[in-house]
A and B are shown apart, each in its own frame.
Chain A
């Protein structure tokens, strides 16, 4: 199963490499990874999506917790949560295609953020599934370039990940 693990990490040099190193060292896979400082400059928030059975995910969270730079973590997929990913995609848009692509973009609540006579650059946010579906809808042959941020997330309700 796919899990989204959010981590508060000491904002120290080398901290990120310890997390990433742990995944490669122990043959865990990283589907996506996002990281940026939080409102508290001494902490970074890192979100990793990974795939594994319960046993593997338990080992992953235990080993992450053992890293000295990891202050706190939560497996967002254990409860109700909001997940978002941002995608910028460049598609061929010439002639009759232009209207069709515009319509699809609207349906997915995306925005066309740059235009040339033959190309649209589209911005889209949502769950990874939604972004995948958009790409399917546009069709492989039209897609010129895709840049995705990877997933970030937060739990629903009162629960917070903070110190």
Chain B
């Protein structure tokens, strides 16, 4: 058997776990580990410029590939800088393993230099965490960490590693376990067949059904099954912000995203439905609006792998705990076998009603005039320039909602956004992670001039590794989403949401980092400049698009109302 130090074991275990890439930033407590990285060439390390970016990049990599993202940071500030990204991954159930250096075991608890209680600080935002007590435990801990991070409802796992445990002078026998079993952790797989049968009967007897599918369908790799089932049934499908791409957006059966900035037709259909089948969703408050007024006439069928997601906010009439793939497979089979016929007449009437709502064309864009670019038009231009084939990450704000509404995702894992935590600064590093996973794909980050400044330092990482990420900045010279709320709820008092006079010259900025910058200020030049940007296949290009700063995102749910209560424009509401 081979003798390895703790630091070497850690890196070897990552390799044995199939890890190709890890994102990190060195520091004192992690230096033994970094030396172990230097002495091998199996696991590639990407040096970011801020630990927050390491976690977001690993997260983007995980969302795009379905494989866990891996992060390595040092103790103290390295660990705390990673927290935002861990919380982001936790909220969206993204598989991630974060290894943090820690001070020597003998110093823990003494307020040593760069000591912080990482296990304690991260506890509410991890699926699980480990503190390594001795080097011999490293292989089994790594095995368990990946097992926990990637199975069931995925999530981030932290491994905190005291420096002495990685001491290169102390070597141990290394063997990587082939499998792991934990008495206290079991993964739900198949749903309860009786419940599934009940759900299928209710679904087939529905007169006004809606299929409401979310991020769980993407995480569970069940998009094909969902699409197949939806086509057999012929029912309308809506996706959550996290679920975009789970069902192909260009499909006639797709009624758009639902929720706070969902389409008129999706929200009206939800409200008017008699059966809602929720799959891989959690009835988030950004979807339901006031829970007491949610879908008043509907029976709720709820499929999720996490029992705690079921009946948390909205009570399910038929709860089904199981992996979305196995449950959908079983549902399709039972639909085929069932003697219950779909009530075609009611379904036709339901579709007519939905088409009526759709005819309102709630996402129609009208020119602002004067050659001014509307933010929606910038997203449309990205969609056209990339032929709908890009991986699109976003930050948080109006631009995020415009991206969700106007980039029509027809495949899963193409839409990379921080839905649960809403983390500004996520988009750009996430796009780097995507680009590293798929070097030949188009990885574009649709961002705002506010958000991009929260992780702008990663321009240097992109130069170092030659990552040709495209950044499209919908520059409205303000924290647009904040400003929108201030317009709507605070009498237009823009408390700390504008800064037009102090914005950097983004073109010069990216040039200083060795990249290409393009500024677009006129609608008449938009599509041509966008094509130009995407034609530069091997360069990072920052497209700074000056957009109409007065634009709001619509539809928008009216707080405290039901799903049918929406503002449709500055002057119109339902």
Contact = CB atoms under 8 A, between A and B. Distances in A.
A binds B: yes
Interface of A: 10, 13-14, 17-18, 21, 25, 55, 58-59, 62-63, 65-66, 68-71, 163
A62 B184 contact: no
Given A68-B184, A71-B184, A62 B308 contact: yes
Given A17-B120, A21-B123, A163-B183, A68 B128 contact: yes
A70 B129 CA distance: 14
B148 interface: yes
B124 A21 contact: yes
B356 interface: no
Nearest to B153: A66
Contacts of A25: 124
Interface string B112-124: 0000000110011
B131 A14 contact: yes
A158 B128 CA distance: 34
B461 to A, nearest CB: 33
Contacts, number: 35
B18 interface: no
B573 interface: no
B308 A66 contact: yes
28 contacts: A10-B184, A13-B131, A14-B119, A14-B123, A14-B129, A14-B131, A18-B123, A21-B123, A21-B124, A55-B315, A58-B311, A59-B308, A59-B312, A62-B307, A62-B308, A63-B308, A65-B307, A66-B306, A66-B307, A68-B128, A68-B148, A68-B182, A68-B184, A68-B185, A70-B184, A71-B183, A71-B184, A163-B183
Interface string B309-332: 001100100000000000000000
Nearest to B128: A68
Instruction: Determine chain A's interface SS by DSSP, over half rule.
Output: helix
Nearest to B306: A66
Contact of A55 (B119, B124, B311): B311
B420 to A, nearest CB: 15
Which 8 A-B residue pairs are closest in the complex by CB-CB distance? Answer: A62-B308, A71-B184, A68-B128, A25-B124, A62-B307, A68-B185, A21-B123, A63-B308
A7 B129 CA distance: 20
A128 to B, nearest CB: 28
Contacts of B308: 59, 62-63, 66
Contacts of A63: 308
Nearest to B307: A62
B127 interface: yes
A49 to B, nearest CB: 21
Interface in B178-209: 182-185
A62 B148 CA distance: 17
A68 B315 CA distance: 26
Nearest to A14: B119
Contacts of A21: 123-124
Nearest to B125: A25
Nearest to B310: A62
